[in-house]
Amino acid sequence: MKHGRFMVGLVGVAAVITYLVWTGVSTTMVYYLTPSELMERVEADPAFRDMGVKVSGKVVPDSYERVEGGDLLHRFVVHDLEDPTVTFPVEWRDALPDTFSDEVEVVVEGRLNTDGVFEATTLLTKCGSRYEAAPEDMAR
């Protein structure tokens, strides 16, 4: 007899976990886009601004400025990896990673606000040789 009730319990737990995963994915997922793709999406559907997105691009040389004032605020411009004419400004309110510099590849996560400024909540710099470098480069 108890077997039936037991199965109900098990199925219930499985259902709850599935529900958690499902809603977790749908509320926290972020699109991984290139700057060009982001611009296209936002143009086609302005509501897309509210989606969380992760965008990778390169920091435009000399675009970085530190905004003076009490809190940390950094501004810089990011351009598309393939099409350098597609750019957007980024605002970042935290310490910059050690590896941040001009032309470094960055991944910013956040939202594009209505002024066209990307408000980043996370900022990662990608460094190709982080854990493995090719000694072939040493040959001359």
Binding site for another protein (CB under 8 A): 2-3, 5-6, 9-10, 13-14, 17, 20-21, 23-25, 27-32, 54, 70-72, 94-96, 98-99, 101, 109, 122, 127, 130-136, 138-139
- Taking the least distance from each CB to another protein, the nearer of 47 and 85 is 47
> Cα(58)–Cα(102) distance, rounded to whole angstroms?
8
Q: Which is nearer to another protein, 54 or 111 (CB)?
A: 54
User: Residue 69: is it exposed, middle or buried by C-beta count within 10 angstroms (0-12/13-18/19+)?
Assistant: exposed
Q: Distance between CA 66 and CA 91 in Å, rounded?
A: 10
Residue 6 CB, nearest distance to another protein (Å)?
Answer: 6
Rounded distance, CA 76 to CA 97, Å? 14
CA distance 70 to 22: 41
Q: Smallest distance, Å, CB 68 to another protein?
A: 9
State the Cα–Cα distance between residues 24 and 11, nearest whole angstrom. Answer: 19
Measured from the CB atom, is 44 or 138 closer to another protein? Answer: 138
Nearest residue (CB) to another protein, 69 versus 114: 69
CB of 48 to another protein, least distance (A): 13
Q: Cβ of residue 69: shortest distance to another protein, in angstroms?
A: 9
Beta 53-59 vs 118-126: how paired, if at all? Answer: unpaired
